[in-house]
Amino acid sequence: MDGLPGRSGFARDKCGVAGIAAPEGIAPALYQMLRAVQHRGQESAGIATYDDGLQTIKGMGLVENVFQAKELERLTGKVGLGHTRYSTTGSSRLENAHPVCVSSAEGSIALGHNGDIVNSDQIRASLQESGWAFITENDSEVIVRLFANQLSKADSPVAAMRSVMGEIVGAYSLVLLVGDKLLAVRDPRGIKPLALGKLPDTYNPAGTPASEDGYGGGYVVASETVAIEALGGKVVRDVEPGEIVEITPTMIASHRGRPSEELAHCMFEYVYFSRADSVIDGREVYDVRVRLGEQLAKEAPVEADVVVPVPDSGRSHALGFARGGGLPMAEGLMKNRYVHRTFIMPDQEDRASGVRIKLNPVKSIVEGKRVVLVDDSIVRGTTMNRLVEMLREAGAQEVHVRIGCPPIKAPCYLGIDMNTREELIAADKSMDEIRDVVGADSLAYVSIDGLDIAIDKEGDSLCKGCLTGRYPVPVPGEVHRKQQTLF
């Protein structure tokens, strides 16, 4: 994944959320779930549980550094939620870390949010004019304060959330603690992933008799299925777009939140952000990425000696390209496993300096060879340029770049850290100009039609705003995908 510069002031969230309801062991389970979705955010992490009051631990850094065993012991109760953050609204500071917690007339509320609320600035300004005060910069606090306000008027947390969903516009997968109740919510377009699962009987050792299927230990919800499987759990289904789910240790209850609108699943979850072993809305991410590579080989074949993936983001795409093109694949770039994902580092300086620390060429694989370098995407081009240079320095005769995502030409307003066209190399450059910037002998991206074929979703059910400049929600100054023109 090619990096782009960090942003000051305005940013958005692309994070990981997890929730659990079980008789025992919820804090250690949440810790394991957050480890499983650590790739979704490395800036901060937090856990909140409820046991006659809200208990919270959160801090800056990786999950393993934020939580210690003795601290987890004090997070008791039967319901809880966790969050890993990659800042996209609100800067990278502890006060913006999740869970976001507030007090209300109905008790304490904790919120974990993955996504971005397009109209949060307008809502915040309106509430501030009415005398409301905000502690953080992030849009998640807008959601939780709206919810607390509605909770005082509604007859249930579900009814309060329905009202909130009628006010906010954008992408959101939410997990909330409302006293001893756990709610999971997905936006009506299903932009962000959210999955439900069951825990094994070991999480309910006092339960008699044992469940028929061995999964009577409680229920979990998470951004990705891998977090459920990390606990030995069983994935039940995805939270449906527009659905509100009440979760307790013994049951889940589904409620219609807002009528489901046209779907707009984030294509970038399939291309890059989710773990390859996750399943999103019925599609295995690994399979999608291999299919993208195969499609790319059909669309942009090249005479070459070896296919080299950019680890780890381009590995599945490269395997598909190698299969589709009848070429051998080899690990021509070796990754330092102790360096984390550069795209979600907050500053471009960190990303740029991390490239050579993170990756190093294997000379015996690339020397004298015509190399096809395959990655999932290019955003700014600086990282790809450095990788091409490294392969040439290692003796590559030719370097052909193939990308498993169409050119990213427009900002993302729904949760990926790409919000100005100036940061995007494909926004104002031709294919030949991009090839020259990255220094490749040839360059090709998979087409948008090829992307649709690989993901294989019904109709126009993907959000491709960053590829087309046409968005599934109204964004000031941008084109809604139902519009013909901006004006």
Residue-level pLDDT at 192? 95
**326 Ramachandran zone, left/alpha/beta (phi>0; psi -120 to 50):** left
Q: What is the pLDDT of residues 443-458, one digit of tens each?
A: 999 999 999 999 998 7
Q: Which residues neighbour 139 within 8 Å (Cβ) at sequence distance 6 or greater?
A: 12, 13, 89, 90, 113, 116, 117, 120, 124, 170
Annotated catalytic residue 466: no
What percent of the chain has a predicted confidence (pLDDT) above 90? 75
Q: How far apart, in whole angstroms, are the C-alpha atoms of residue 282 and residue 260? A: 18
Answer whether CATH 3.40.50.2020 is correct for domain 287-480: yes
Question: At residue 399, what is the residue type?
Answer: V
Residue-level pLDDT at 155? 92
For the four alpha carbons of 108, 220, 245 and 263, in that order, the dihedral sign comes to positive
Burial class (CB in 10 A: 0-12, 13-18, 19+), 51: middle
Burial class (CB in 10 A: 0-12, 13-18, 19+), 284: middle
Task: Give the residue ranges of DSSP H helices in 10-119.
Answer: 26-36, 63-66, 69-73
DSSP codes of every residue in 397-411 = SEEEEEESS----S-
Give the pair of three-digit tokens for residue 426: 């494909």
Strands (E), 390-475: 398-403, 442-445, 462-463, 470-471
Protein fold of 16-263: Glutamine Phosphoribosylpyrophosphate, subunit 1, domain 1 (3.60.20)
Q: Nearest 5°: phi and psi at 426?
A: -85, -5
- How far does CA 150 lie from the centroid of its chain? 28
Question: At residue 468, what is the residue type?
Answer: T
- Calculate the average pLDDT of the chain: 90
Question: At residue 318, what is the residue type?
Answer: A
Q: How far apart, in whole angstroms, are the C-alpha atoms of residue 198 and residue 216? A: 7
Residue 309: CB atoms within 10 A of its CB come to 25
For the four alpha carbons of 417, 422, 423 and 428, in that order, the dihedral sign comes to positive
Contact in structure between 184 and 221 (CB atoms under 8 Å)? yes
Kindly report whether the peptide bond that precedes residue 99 is cis, defined as omega within 30 degrees of 0: yes
**Look-up of token digits 């992030």:** 138
Which of 64-78, 84-98, 106-120, 314-328 has maximum average pLDDT? 314-328
Is residue 176 over pLDDT 70?
A: yes
Residue-level pLDDT at 457? 87
What is the pLDDT confidence band of residue 324, given thresholds at 50, 70 and 90?
Answer: very high
Across residues 275-280, what is the average pLDDT? 97
Residue-level pLDDT at 354? 65
Q: Nearest 5°: phi and psi at 318?
A: -65, -40
Q: Which residues neighbour 432 within 8 Å (Cβ) at sequence distance 6 or greater?
A: none
Q: Which residue has the higher pLDDT, 1 or 229?
A: 229
3-state SS class at 40: helix
Q: How far apart, in whole angstroms, are the C-alpha atoms of residue 327 and residue 18? A: 41
Catalytic residue among 15, 101, 405, 466: 15
What is the DSSP-derived secondary structure letter of residue 38?
G
Domain boundaries, the chain: 16-263, 287-480
What is the pLDDT confidence band of residue 397, given thresholds at 50, 70 and 90?
Answer: very high
For the four alpha carbons of 271, 387, 304 and 447, in that order, the dihedral sign comes to positive
Residue-level pLDDT at 207? 77
Q: Nearest 5°: phi and psi at 287?
A: -60, -40
Q: Which residue has the higher pLDDT, 68 or 338?
A: 68
Residue-level pLDDT at 4? 38
C-alpha atoms less than 13 angstroms from C-alpha of 97 in its C-beta half-sphere: 21
3-state SS class at 222: strand
What is the pLDDT confidence band of residue 97, given thresholds at 50, 70 and 90?
Answer: confident
Provide the whole-model pTM.
0.90
Is residue 8 over pLDDT 70?
A: no
Least confident of 327-336, 395-404, 476-485: 476-485
Q: What is the pLDDT of residues 98-155, one digit of tens each?
A: 899 998 877 899 999 999 999 999 999 998 998 888 887 789 999 999 999 999 899 9
Residue-level pLDDT at 88? 46
Give the pair of three-digit tokens for residue 209: 């008799």
Q: How far apart, in whole angstroms, are the C-alpha atoms of residue 219 and residue 50? A: 16
Q: What angle do CA 108, 105, 87 make, to 5 degrees?
A: 40
Q: Which residues neighbour 263 within 8 Å (Cβ) at sequence distance 6 or greater?
A: 189, 190, 241, 457, 459, 461
Burial class (CB in 10 A: 0-12, 13-18, 19+), 452: middle
